[in-house]
A and B are shown apart, each in its own frame.
Chain A
Amino acid sequence: MIELRNVSLKYGDKEILNNVSLTVRDNTIKAILGPSGVGKSTILKLMLGLIKPNSGKVIVDGTDITNMKEASLYSIRRKMGMVFQGNALFDSLTISQNLGFFLRENMKLPEQEIERRVSEQIQFAGLEGYEDQLPESLSGGMRRRVAIGRALIFKPHMILFDEPTAGLDPVSSKKILSLISSLRHNNNLGAVIVTHIIDDVFHVADCVAVLYQGKIIFDDVTDKLNHSQHPFIRSILSDKILEL
């Protein structure tokens, strides 16, 4: 479980998050919905301890990681997988090497086990035949699937997605969303999805938090979003995609 308690964050004079509280429970998919540049990705980075809040607490599985030292954070981070918006694949490594990179780096597993897990992820992501290709030779959707595979290969409890369908064509978006939906059934995983596309929320999320002007204005099960009377939520429900 990941908890943000009264978290505030400023970049210089600009207030990004103002007293944000949020809980992501295990085995649920929670979406964080909001317009571009509102601080959604910042929330994911806070959850991983990549940045520190000005005030408030970040708690992962009961451990307060707010002021934890970088070296102590590594073991906490390994409980979570992260899929970056730009995929953040290592461009000089092949798909197989990308998938196995962190297993070789951080876990003392036998090479046979690493290879088994890599081929499992290749199969799961539907990338058979592309094992020895570099990321640059794959389509956007395929690269996203490799990034998801790389996050899953650790067998984390929670996986964080930063705009998983941004920049993808409708067919690839659908494939990625199906992949995310299947995660919970196959792996019993919790997930946080940051997005500005409302259809993605209805497609995969059990519950949703709406971030607007640095504050959470809605935090409940996805079905109840349709009944919200908040003017901003009403406007996004009619527009479907948030562009500000």
Chain B
Amino acid sequence: MLLNFARDQEKAVILWLKNFILTMQEFFLFSVRAFIAIPKIKRYWRDVLDQATICGTDSIPIVLVSAISIGSLLAIEVGNLLEDFGAKTMLGRSTSLSVIRELGPLLMGLMLSARFGSRNGAELGAMQISEQIDALRAFGTDPVAKLVMPRLLAALIMFFPLTALSDFAGLHSAAYMAEHYHRLDPGIFWNAVYPRLAPKDFVVGFLKAPVFAIIITLVSSFNGFSARGGTAGVGRSTIKGIVVSSGLVLIANFYVSKIVLENM
């Protein structure tokens, strides 16, 4: 009986591995197709503009809220810590590094994974379930070029200004808190920010924008395209898209910082 149980477990693991490898292969091909379709932008520029509005303009409020809250909190907490060491004048330096290199892009990535990724997963999943994606293929339209490429391109373009906005809002909210909470002169705060920021600090932050754009768009769209099993299936694929893309955003955030900081 124990032997049978072990055999069943082994079979289950092999099946899981096989499915995992197949899914990875499909995801890779799906991603390649999305990138190969980019030259078709002339044909789908309206779709790119629509998606740019959805992932860019419409995401501004959530990006601002998350950047302002993290900038303010960071200034308060780091300021309290630095005060113990008599180094409150370094508040600008420490908050600007945290916001520009790490927290600005990361929070923006997580917020967009929830907002843009969930929309992609649900919309494409519903289209898959109702055979609209099959209809595109049946009538001679490449669904990846029509539905995924514009999302990818829009995210690649719009995540840069959103990162800049997130950095700007995060830094200014930190400066506001430094002045009104820690009673630190704005001149001292900004003097600790600008002269000390190196190009690599911006490279780390802004390199994350396209990496997150690729992860969020492709993972959520792939899960939407893979939706099966009615409305519950759409829900499952949407959740899976958000969970996987958020996890990958966190992992990518670490590795981009590590690679750039070690090599610049």
Report A's interface with B, CB cutoff 8 A. 45, 48, 50, 70-71, 74-75, 77-78, 80-82, 84-86, 88-91, 102, 105-106, 150, 154
The answer to whether A106 and B139 have CB atoms under 8 Å apart is yes
The answer to whether A90 and B132 have CB atoms under 8 Å apart is yes
The answer to whether B138 and A48 have CB atoms under 8 Å apart is yes
The answer to whether B134 and A84 have CB atoms under 8 Å apart is yes
Pairs across A and B, CB under 8 Å, 9 listed: A50-B134, A50-B138, A74-B141, A80-B138, A84-B131, A84-B134, A88-B134, A105-B146, A150-B139
Name, among B137, B138, B141, the residue most crowded by chain A CB atoms within 10 Å (CB to CB): B138
Number of B residues, CB within 8 Å of A: 12
Report B's interface with A, CB cutoff 8 A. 130-132, 134-135, 137-142, 146
| Alpha-carbon distance A75/B135, docked complex (angstroms) | 14
The answer to whether A88 and B132 have CB atoms under 8 Å apart is yes
CB-defined contacts of A88 to chain B, threshold 8 Å: 130-132, 134-135
| Alpha-carbon distance A50/B130, docked complex (angstroms) | 15
Counting from the closest, the 4 A-B pairs by CB-CB distance are A88-B135, A88-B131, A74-B140, A78-B140
Q: Which of B131, B141, B142 contacts A102 (CB 8 A)?
A: B141
| Alpha-carbon distance A48/B139, docked complex (angstroms) | 9
The answer to whether B138 and A82 have CB atoms under 8 Å apart is yes
What is the minimal beta-carbon distance from A154 to any residue of chain B, in angstroms?
7
What is the minimal beta-carbon distance from A160 to any residue of chain B, in angstroms?
8
Nearest residue, chain A, Cβ from B36: A71
| Alpha-carbon distance A105/B142, docked complex (angstroms) | 10
The answer to whether A75 and B140 have CB atoms under 8 Å apart is yes
| Alpha-carbon distance A85/B132, docked complex (angstroms) | 11
CB-defined contacts of A82 to chain B, threshold 8 Å: 135, 138-139
| Alpha-carbon distance A86/B140, docked complex (angstroms) | 19
The answer to whether B131 and A71 have CB atoms under 8 Å apart is no
Nearest residue, chain B, Cβ from A74: B140
Nearest residue, chain A, Cβ from B129: A86
CB-defined contacts of A70 to chain B, threshold 8 Å: 137, 142
The answer to whether A77 and B134 have CB atoms under 8 Å apart is no
The answer to whether B130 and A77 have CB atoms under 8 Å apart is no
The answer to whether A86 and B138 have CB atoms under 8 Å apart is no
| Alpha-carbon distance A25/B146, docked complex (angstroms) | 33
CB-defined contacts of B139 to chain A, threshold 8 Å: 77-78, 81-82, 102, 105-106, 150, 154
CB-defined contacts of B141 to chain A, threshold 8 Å: 74, 102, 105-106
| Alpha-carbon distance A89/B135, docked complex (angstroms) | 8
Nearest residue, chain B, Cβ from A105: B141
Q: Which of B131, B137, B142, B146 contacts A86 (CB 8 A)?
A: B131
The answer to whether B140 and A77 have CB atoms under 8 Å apart is yes
| Alpha-carbon distance A106/B40, docked complex (angstroms) | 13
| Alpha-carbon distance A102/B146, docked complex (angstroms) | 12
Name, among B137, B140, B141, B146, the residue most crowded by chain A CB atoms within 10 Å (CB to CB): B140
Nearest residue, chain A, Cβ from B132: A88
CB-defined contacts of A86 to chain B, threshold 8 Å: 130-131
CB-defined contacts of A75 to chain B, threshold 8 Å: 140
CB-defined contacts of A78 to chain B, threshold 8 Å: 139-140
Nearest residue, chain A, Cβ from B131: A88
CB-defined contacts of B138 to chain A, threshold 8 Å: 48, 50, 77, 80, 82, 84
